[in-house]
Every structure is written in structure tokens, then in C-alpha cells.
Homo-oligomer: A and B are copies of this chain.
Amino acid sequence: MSSSGYDVVAIGNAIVDVLAKAEDAFLAQHKLNKGAMTLIDAPTANHLYAAMGPAIECSGGSAANTMAGMASLGGRTSFIGKVAADQLGSVFNHDIRAAGVHFATPPHKGGPPTARCLIVVTPDGQRTMNTFLGACIELGPDDVTMEQIQAARVTYLEGYLWDRPEAKEAFRKAMKICHASGRKVALTLSDAFCVDRHRAEFLELVEKEVDILFANEAEILSLYQVSDFDQAMSLVRRKKNRIAAITRSEKGAVIVGGENVHTVPAERVSKVVDTTGAGDLYAAGFLFGLTHGHNLPSAGRVGSICAAEIISHFGARPEVSLKDLVRAKMGQG
């Protein structure tokens, strides 16, 4: 990869998370799909929020979390996403810039408010996400410029964007620029239900466009519509010249580089407080490793360390310097 301004530029939903604890009965009562990300409209968001307990607000958004995590590792990152010109938009804007991520997408004025994700965290630490996309639906191809994409060695895209046609166009535009400029395309499948909604297109993307693929076990099984993990992995391995990092929660991750397969164990966590952002921060560590000279197993180890940090506290942005944490765990090398 050539030297350029940023290691990674990400395109994603710009979201403020609203996190509250609840018992499993709350999920049942409100028919929430445990562990999944469900899109909700404004009235549903208001209704659910009113039913939720006291909450905290914390900037989120899958790819935005990944960029904040990479910045905490010392990486140079940039983010493209749409907030509204409102208080939560200011919060998102503050937090991502304060994390050291370049963010210059202008806020949308006069439309829906900044997106929020109502996250219910059950006593087992599992998060159930309910997203009101708000201003995110205003993200379109005009928000993606050739300069931004060319300035980064990798463009990272979240599968969630596929839920909106305008965002999908932005996504396609970015991939086209990437390929024309010798840049790499990274994609996270985001969520098993998201894969289910867009399987045919995701399959095509994964086969034809994606250089670095992130998925968890449920997502990769859903993508290939198989029930056996090894079967899914053999399908992943069919494509040469592609890297894939498939995460399996406490079972660790399987990393595929062409025909080579590496299994990296999960980092130990004394208590899983909140799984929000686990996949996002795994991707942060892995992408940081890839763009900083680590081999695949070592990049996977950085990903595991970052994921372990994020699930040990509330919220999906790191609470400590990931650079210091990784250095402490892996040494200066």
C-alpha cells in the first residue's frame, strides 16, 4: 500500500448510543430481538425510550467506533457520516474529533435529528440495539469525495449502510474510487439480520469487491446460509487475495489470508459488562495491525485485546489508551 494521509477512512452511520440496563424480561415485554440491531422509527424510539430506565449517552456508530479505536491505537483515521445540526450531533462531532479522528462531513440542517441507538444491556452483558437512523438517511454519494478515499490506504464500510439506498450509493462510489486508485476495500457484515436483508448483494460484494472482510460467526453462517462453521470457512477460503477475520466471541477469531488460516484465542476478560462495540473494536485492532506491519496472527491479537477492553465497561468507545494497553500486553514490538 502506498503512503498517504490516513491509514483508514470509514463510512458509517453517525449515531449517539443511549445505554440502559434491563432484565431479560424487558426484552420479552417489548419484543426486542436479543443481541441484534433492529431499525426503529421515531414513534417506536420515543415509546421504547420512555420505557427504558435511566441511561447514559455515549457516541457510537459501528464504523465510527472502529475509527475511534484505531485512533486510540495511534492510527491515522478519517470518518464520513451524517449528523443533524443539533445537540446530539454536536456530541457525536465532539467525541469523534476529540478521539483524534478526522471528521468533516457537514451536519444536515432542517431534517430529522441525529441518529440514536437505544441499547438495552442485560445482566449477561449482551447488548440489544434499536436504531433510529434519523439524519443518517441523509448521507449520500455527494458526501464521499475522491480526495477523502484516495487519502487513505483502506476504506472501511459498515454493512448497516446497505439499509438505505442513498448510503448504498455512497458505498458503491467509495468502492469504485478505491479500486481505481489501488486502495483496499474493507467491509464488516455488521449484523446477521442485516446480512439476511441484503444477502444477494452482500454475497456479490464479498466475492467481487472486498479485500478485507469482517464478520462474526452468525453473520458468516447467514451469508452462506450454512449451519456449520467449518463449511462457512471453506467458502471463505475459496477466494485468494482476500483477508477475512471471523470473530467467535469467547472462542476467539479465525483469520484467513488466502489459503492460510490462523486461529487466535480471545483475550481473557474478568467480567463482561457490555458487549456493545466488541466487533467494532476487534476491527479497529485488526485494521491497525494490518496497516502497521503486523502479520495476520499479530493483527488478530491486537483486535482481541481491543475487543476485550471495550466489553469490560459500558459504551463502545475505549476508556483507556489502546496504544498503551497493546504495548503492555504485546511489548514494544
Contact = CB atoms under 8 A, between A and B. Distances in A.
Interface in A204-235: none
Contacts of A55: 91, 94-95, 98
A87 interface: yes
A179 to B, nearest CB: 33
A147 B98 CA distance: 46
Contacts of A52: 94, 98
Interface range on chain A (Cβ under 8 Å from partner): 20 to 34
A59 to B, nearest CB: 7
A1 interface: no
B54 A56 contact: no
A10 interface: no
Number of copies: 2
B94 A49 contact: yes
Contacts of A5: none
Nearest to A21: B319
Interface string A129-161: 000000000000000000000000000000000
A113 B98 contact: no
Nearest to A317: B54
Interface in A63-87: 68, 86-87
Contacts of A317: 54
A315 interface: yes
B58 A56 contact: yes
A94 B50 contact: yes
A29 B96 CA distance: 22
A165 interface: no
A95 B21 CA distance: 12
Contacts of A87: 86-88, 113-114
Interface of A: 20-21, 49-50, 52-59, 68, 86-88, 91, 94-96, 98-99, 113-114, 315, 317, 319
26 contacts: A50-B94, A52-B94, A52-B98, A53-B98, A53-B99, A54-B59, A54-B68, A54-B94, A54-B95, A54-B98, A54-B99, A54-B317, A55-B91, A55-B94, A55-B95, A55-B98, A56-B56, A56-B57, A56-B315, A57-B57, A57-B58, A57-B91, A86-B86, A87-B88, A87-B113, A87-B114
Given A54-B59, A54-B96, A55-B98, 17 more contacts: A21-B319, A52-B94, A52-B98, A53-B98, A53-B99, A54-B68, A54-B94, A54-B95, A54-B98, A54-B99, A55-B91, A55-B94, A55-B95, A56-B315, A57-B91, A87-B87, A87-B88
